[in-house]
Amino acid sequence: MATEAKRDVTGGRLEQSEYAENFTDYHPPLNGHEAAVEADRCYFCYDAPCMTACPTSIDVPLFIRQIAANNPKGAARTIFEQNILGGMCARVCPTETLCEEACVREAAEGKPVKIGQLQRFATDTLMNSGGDHPFERAEPTGRKIAVVGAGPAGLSCAHRLALHGHDVTVFEAREKGGGLSEYGIAAYKSVNDFAQKELQFILDIGGIKIETGKKLGTDISVEALAEQYDAVFLGIGLANVNALGIDGEDADGCEDAVDYIAQLRQASDLSKLQVGRSVVVIGGGMTAIDVATQTKLLGAEEVTIAYRRGQDAMNASEYEQELAQTNGVTIRHWLQPKSLVLHDDGSVAGIELEYTSQSNGTLSGTGKTVTLAADQVFKAIGQRFDDDPLAGSGLELDRGRIRTDDNRKTNLNNVWAGGDCVRSGEDLTVVSVEDGKIAAESIHATLSA
């Protein structure tokens, strides 16, 4: 079906002041008094469940006790010892489903200690202090390690290796390091160029250099790196976006949510970013929430998330879903894409969705449909691994991602991998950080043997 009207996609839907207000820090940091009051709520539990729930095993009771004792820099060091990206994780981690969900105050009162905000208070205090770096690099070992990917996994691995005295070269395909921290999260979660400030903080330990514009499979290869370096770590993430599987999804106006978020993150003037009057997002994870919320904040009048299952099955937490709805996003469940509606010029005019039902865990279409008008349709149904850059390397895959052991070691003698590109990847920044740390310790142990 085609329509004669034109898509309504433009920039400048808001006053300049509205952009600044909409994309300000969504969670203003705690001040010293607020942090002290919140820290006093902690029971400092023995065998604390919040610590167990943290993928990087941060000693949560200890760092909160240090804040309570007016030692936020000491608290930051406690955090950074386990998670060198603790500042970003404090901003983007789904603490409501990790440490805070495990908090005993959550179980008893439904109001957990604000662990994420306390973590941010501590890490920001240290990073803004301008003092000495909290870690001192060991004596150089003369060993050289290549890290592919300057995202959370790669940077975590690089920092831990540099801490042990190894020389690390990080190869990054994009113009900037940071990975998803720089390109992939909602702009209101990380403001004031924090991703680059955190990157510099990591590099300040010394022994790490980053070479940007170096893409695996084009400019570098696993085989060459394995020959030139004592060890290689792959933190290459997920490069491809899953397709909707419907005809015409290459039409003008049917866009990858990941790419759009990256454009938004790098935009120097948000008023120049093109956004539709009516937007439909397909998906139920954090990317769907982030692109939907941000298009609404850019001035879209109607934004709808369509998800094929019920609310409980959405990967985005209830908190994030509520955040989107608070900003005017409509979330509709039990709908899957069937076909795109196009204008006469072949651009997107809307999307036809089919109602779904589930029986014994099996999802199926009901045959009943609804059509939503849309100037933009965003694909946010997950990403998948691109194994083309690994062709000829001999690396073994497991169900479409790199196979590793518990130490993030691949089947190749001197190659490790971690983050979203490995089979156990969980699409969380904090999990990627832990992967990089585990791999670094395994590499160090291997090179020290």
CATH of the domain spanning 32-127: 1.10.1060.10
Q: In what order do the strands lie in the sheet with 231-234?
A: 208-212, 167-172, 144-148, 231-234, 415-417
| Pair 299, 396: CB distance under 8 Å | no
> How confident is the model over 396-417, as pLDDT tens digits?
999 899 999 999 999 999 999 9
The reply to whether the predicted model has a pTM over 0.75 is yes
Q: Which CATH architecture has domain 144-239+385-448?
A: 3-Layer(bba) Sandwich (3.50)
- CB neighbourhood size of 277 (10 A): 17
DSSP letter (8 states) at residue 292: H
The reply to whether 144-239+385-448 shares the fold of 2-23+241-382 is yes
- A 10 A CB-CB count for 192 gives 9
- What residues does 167 pair with on adjacent strands? 144
What residues does each domain of the chain span?
2-23+241-382, 32-127, 144-239+385-448
Residue pLDDT, tens place only, 34-75: 999 999 999 999 889 999 999 999 999 999 999 999 999 999
pLDDT tens sequence across 338-396: 999 999 999 999 999 999 999 988 999 999 999 999 999 999 999 999 999 999 999 99
Number of Cβ atoms within 10 Å of the Cβ of 405: 10
Q: Provide the mean pLDDT of the chain.
A: 95
Assess whether pLDDT exceeds 80 at residue 439. yes
Domain 2-23+241-382 classification at class level = alpha beta
Region 140-145: what's the mean pLDDT?
97
CB 380 within 8 A of CB 243: no
pLDDT at 3 (0 to 100): 56
